[in-house]
Structure 1
């Protein structure tokens, strides 16, 4: 593995400029989000507002963590195809510490106000002398208690943020100094990160989302969440690549790179469906009341249509649209699928969180849409701001030439 001399890299020293309409619209979206949160609290919908804040804070953090996972995966696999677009997941990963703080604050505030996690954090649930005593929750209290819950969340998010900082530092040093020293370090630490991430991601999903309904549990829930996270992150990366290309950037990225991203999205949409269906089928077939209650809630009239729409958007649509080779190489088709799947996985998280959290004042409207727009604006603002700080070419990366000539 040699370190090639990038003879024509000087033609690609593109610097993304984050200004004008893009910056204005992302700031307007943030303001819409803040006003929606205020509207939720002022109209006595605190529980629903907290649930939406958790949904979007978790989604935001998952997408940023996927940027980090994407980078680590490329290093460990020593893959060359994605080198030309690495700056995008790197920018996403550098936003991870901010996303982590927001998620931690939302979870902590939700615990303190009893608007989230009240299934295991209510008064007297673990006290045998209390009228509210719950034997199942008391049995889980060693694990599900506020200090240990927040400590786990802080450790997981802190560890991910540390690796985000580390990889960003190595990428910067590699661009400045060249050679293989920092590339080799990136491979080594990526392997460490992937092991940690693989073991902690399911626990993170169990804590943050599954414990909202603490009586119920599924051992497949962690991988179901991971699949949703990975597909969403791939869609965000692909969408940013397409929009940058439409804006006249990333001239070295061609339809072959998009084809590979499209294949990933196609494949992991099937994997998401496999895990979703396996979890659903096992619970449905076993027909145990303590298990089926989870899906019974999601078959109530206000959720049942969304239950089926979730499957159509996240499985049927990508299968039908992305099956053909040509559709993965057409920017507008791929962009449509990415936007649709990002909305689809928002709905997926909505179906995971809302039925077990919002008991009064259920509904769908300004709070849901506004908070989603706000977080989308915040993500766009922070990520594009990070992207504008460095050249979009991973200079001195040993596989840059391979990426520039990528063809399938």
Structure 2
């Protein structure tokens, strides 16, 4: 591993987005569109339209979270001045470039949900803040200065707009570094990453409060934002790992070695445990506080419709990575890492399902064509947009100051 030199790598290597990857991602997008149409055109008495909107929100939020995690990964590497990751930065950069499109899709879903099938009916309901109205709710009325349609939309646009601007700036500086060399662009990346991480750290909890927690506006948890951040970060790490493994198998990025995958595996392992820590802390605090308006959140998820999924969530997202990725060798075997990452992506889909469905479709959950098709569609859309961005530039940031360290990475 220590024998790499500049001469053994093709620094102009570009990914060619064609063939099976392009075909299958387009087929997946079509499947998603058909599943959504099926959901909206089915008998409305069976609650299919509400279910479809809830699934669009789930996958729109998931899609945006993975792209935001790509931008967060980039910023984190710059601020920590990490050397190991320099050779694979093009992958999270491709995620970051897709973030503006993901943001627009999520905002469109939220706005459509507000004005048509009322995803946020717990706080956006006729007369809910008007004293004397049959729908009046004093708890929601007290939150109305924050939970109202104009301010909700403004916050979504501001947060996602800021994340997108920083994400595109980081990718632009990397491109300038390729063209100009020197440390000027790296220093700019360092500075903008530090600013981004502060903003991102303070605003992502609020973003998740708005998008997901306000689906059940009576309940709140100050841990919910960090719980969502943990899910976002693990999911992003999994997609980065999957992309890196599949690219290497397709003959690209031959400079990635077992040590790079080991580090990605360690991050996936560590933050799966962090996710569980926050999950357990939120659950335990709510349980022993024994305040009815707090415990109702978990009580809903212990009803027969959701209880099996509730426990399966912990098994997939905690038990599986701990048991399978515990050893050093497991993290270095790409087959094992690939399996765990795919399993965790399905696990965090289930996690979002449990967060979203009880507050939207409530006692009429379902699992079938709408859920599977929408998930496949968004996976296809992400793959298509991300690989399209990846194919536009060389697969290695050739003038990155820590590139040599990354090429010789050995642990």
Query: Does the aligned pair in 2 maintain the 1:50–1:115 contact within 8 Å?
Result: no
Partner of 1:315: 318
TM-score norm. by structure 2 comes to: 0.97
CA offsets per residue over residues 146-188 of structure 1, 9 Å max, x none? Answer: 0000000000000011011111110110001100000000000
Query: Does the aligned pair in 2 maintain the 1:114–1:121 contact within 8 Å?
Result: no
2:77 equivalent to 1:74:
yes
Query: Does the aligned pair in 1 maintain the 2:83–2:402 contact within 8 Å?
Result: yes
Alignment of 1:99-248 (within 5 A): 99-248=102-251
TM-score norm. by structure 1 comes to: 0.98
Partner of 1:17: 16
Cα distance in 1 for partners of 2:339, 2:11 equals 28
The structural deviation recorded for 1:13 is: 2.2
Secondary structure (helix, strand or coil) at the match of 1:321 reads helix
> Which blocks of at least 5 consecutive residues in structure 1 are unaligned?
1-5
2:306 equivalent to 1:303:
yes
Cα distance in 2 for partners of 1:10, 1:232 equals 30
Cα distance in 2 for partners of 1:259, 1:339 equals 17
The structural deviation recorded for 1:113 is: 1.2
The structural deviation recorded for 1:114 is: 4.0
Cα distance in 1 for partners of 2:71, 2:329 equals 29
Cα distance in 1 for partners of 2:152, 2:350 equals 26
- Determine which of 345, 351, 354 is the counterpart of 1:351: 354
The structural deviation recorded for 1:12 is: 3.4
Cα distance in 2 for partners of 1:11, 1:326 equals 29
* Greater mean alpha carbon deviation, residues 26-35 or residues 358-367: 358-367
Cα distance in 1 for partners of 2:32, 2:390 equals 23
Query: Does the aligned pair in 1 maintain the 2:53–2:117 contact within 8 Å?
Result: no
Query: Does the aligned pair in 2 maintain the 1:104–1:153 contact within 8 Å?
Result: yes
CA RMSD of aligned residues (A): 1.0
Query: Does the aligned pair in 1 maintain the 2:12–2:395 contact within 8 Å?
Result: yes
CA offsets per residue over residues 269-292 of structure 1, 9 Å max, x none? Answer: 000000000000011111111011
Partner of 1:27: 26
> Which blocks of at least 5 consecutive residues in structure 2 are unaligned?
none
CA offsets per residue over residues 309-342 of structure 1, 9 Å max, x none? Answer: 0000000000000111100000000000000000
The structural deviation recorded for 1:42 is: 0.4
- Determine which of 368, 377, 380 is the counterpart of 1:377: 380
Cα distance in 1 for partners of 2:59, 2:122 equals 21
The count of residues paired between Structure 1 and Structure 2 equals 403
Cα distance in 1 for partners of 2:7, 2:323 equals 40
Partner of 2:40: 41
